[in-house]
Chain A
Amino acid sequence: MKSLQVDASEQTLRALYRTYGGELYGFAVNSLGDRGLAEELVQEVFTRVWRNADKFDPDRATFRTWLYGIARNAVIDFDRRRSARPPMAMHETDADPAALNDSIEQSVLRWQVAAALERLTPEHREVVRLAHFQGLTLREVAERTGLPLGTVKSRASYALRGLRLALEEMGVRP
């Protein structure tokens, strides 16, 4: 029988997975270009999180920063392991840690913004699509959709508040 401590820890890990698993997977697919490998990477990262949990110091770094430090190292290890030409691969990997860092932030942010948009209602997302991505004014959005202008105005405001809330819940400070 599993001990209660294990049970509590398992719940902790599950909670962490549910908070960070999605974005980490998005990052992994982006970094490795392969969904199967990405799944392996996510497993590996959570295993390392668990093994090194006592080294995590919330006073020194946020959990997300710490997590992506681990993820970044895991990507480098995976790249080395799968490379047919290890010396070349090491050279390539060593040459661009800054680029990799940058791509981590970018790819995580892309995933988070896409996930925040996905959480809007279709009506709110439509207003963001037309007003922001297609550059229409709210008056033009109302003409295009046949909705009353007042409805479009309030939807634009609700949509942005919804976006902000969704991003905050993912730990992004807009």
Chain B
Amino acid sequence: MTSACESCRELIGGYVLDALEPDEREHVRRHIESCDACAREHAELATLPALLDVVDSADTAPLHPPAQLEEAVLDRFARETRQSHAAAAREPGAGAETAAPAGTPPASAEPAQRRRSVRRFLLPAAAALACAVAAFGAARLLTGDDASEQRSAAERPRVYDVALSGVGPLPRAAGEARLYPGDTGTGVHLTVRGLEPRAYDYELWCIRDDGWKVSAGTFRADSSGRADINLTTAAKPSEYDSLSIQARPAGRGSDARGPRVLIGRLRS
């Protein structure tokens, strides 16, 4: 990149907003005519002022839905899905026991048949929507990026292995976590070494990149600074981006604040 490009990159915002002095404007205009890279950058930004004009000010706050709407949408989905199960069960060839309400153990259910009847209703819809999700970049929230991955994920529950490395006050700490689906939540088998045994209690968190986090449980290190423990969390690993272990002054309870000492990404 030439110094002319650097100066153009600095001025490009003002140029697009038509907020430069005449000599600067002329300088940018001429440079763009002769430099493809800067012309491309200009083209990427040039339509923004017209878009900005659709709002009245820079502080037009978008109206956000109440937080409970997400759960309401998913609750309604869950009710619909149960009805689909019941409808599938009433079809010829499907066992009557599949109509049992959620949570009721199927007395003499034939598992393969039950899976088939459910799959017939759910997979086309899930596959089509998964395409939509993948196409619009929301795929990181899913276990798989496309329908076939999602199908295999459904048949072979996914196990996540996460390498944890020390940060902050415990740079030499290291560990591994294995997350596996269980009947009552996500099981976490955590092994960590290099912890400070006495001064801290530790808490494992599942964290999303947007800042949302949920605790997966607390633990202490043994006298050699190691921990080898099993925890269970309601968090679904596919919805989270990373794990972190927070250290808190020992015996001070869950309100105490403390540094993150290990982190690891759930996906590469």
Contacts and interface: CB of A to CB of B under 8 A. Distances in A.
Interface of A: 1-19, 21-23, 25-26, 29, 38-39, 42-43, 46-47, 49-51, 53-56, 58, 62-64, 66, 106, 109-115, 117-118, 125-129, 131-133, 136-139, 141, 150, 153-161, 163-164, 167, 169, 171-172, 174
B70 A9 contact: no
A10 B77 contact: yes
21 contacts: A1-B183, A2-B78, A7-B236, A8-B153, A8-B154, A9-B126, A14-B239, A16-B133, A18-B141, A21-B73, A26-B62, A47-B77, A56-B129, A117-B52, A128-B58, A131-B17, A133-B58, A157-B14, A159-B13, A160-B13, A160-B45
A16 B9 CA distance: 36
Contact of A8 (B13, B49, B143): B143
Nearest to A47: B76
Contacts of A17: 70, 73-74
Determine which residue in A42, A49, A114 has the highest number of CB atoms from chain B within 10 A of its CB, and name it.
A114
Determine which residue in A26, A49, A53, A164 has the highest number of CB atoms from chain B within 10 A of its CB, and name it.
A53
A12 B58 contact: no
B130 A12 contact: yes
Contact of A21 (B13, B69, B76, B119): B69
Determine which residue in B49, B125, B155 has the highest number of CB atoms from chain A within 10 A of its CB, and name it.
B125
A9 B125 contact: yes
A12 B14 contact: no
Interface of B: 9-14, 16-17, 19-21, 44-45, 47-49, 51-52, 54-55, 57-66, 69-70, 72-74, 76-78, 80-81, 102-103, 115, 118-119, 122-126, 128-133, 135-139, 141-144, 150, 153-155, 157, 183, 236, 238-239
A9 B141 contact: no
Contacts of B142: 8, 11-12, 15
A43 B102 contact: no
Contacts of B239: 11, 14
Contacts of A172: 51
B14 A129 contact: no
Given A109-B54, A137-B21, A14 B129 contact: no
B129 A43 contact: no
Contacts of B55: 110, 113-114, 117
Given A9-B126, A161-B45, A15 B133 contact: yes
B11 A63 contact: no
B19 A137 contact: yes
Given A14-B70, A111-B62, A174 B10 contact: no
B65 A153 contact: no
Determine which residue in A11, A29, A111, A113 has the highest number of CB atoms from chain B within 10 A of its CB, and name it.
A11
Contacts of B125: 9, 50-51, 53-54
A174 B51 contact: yes
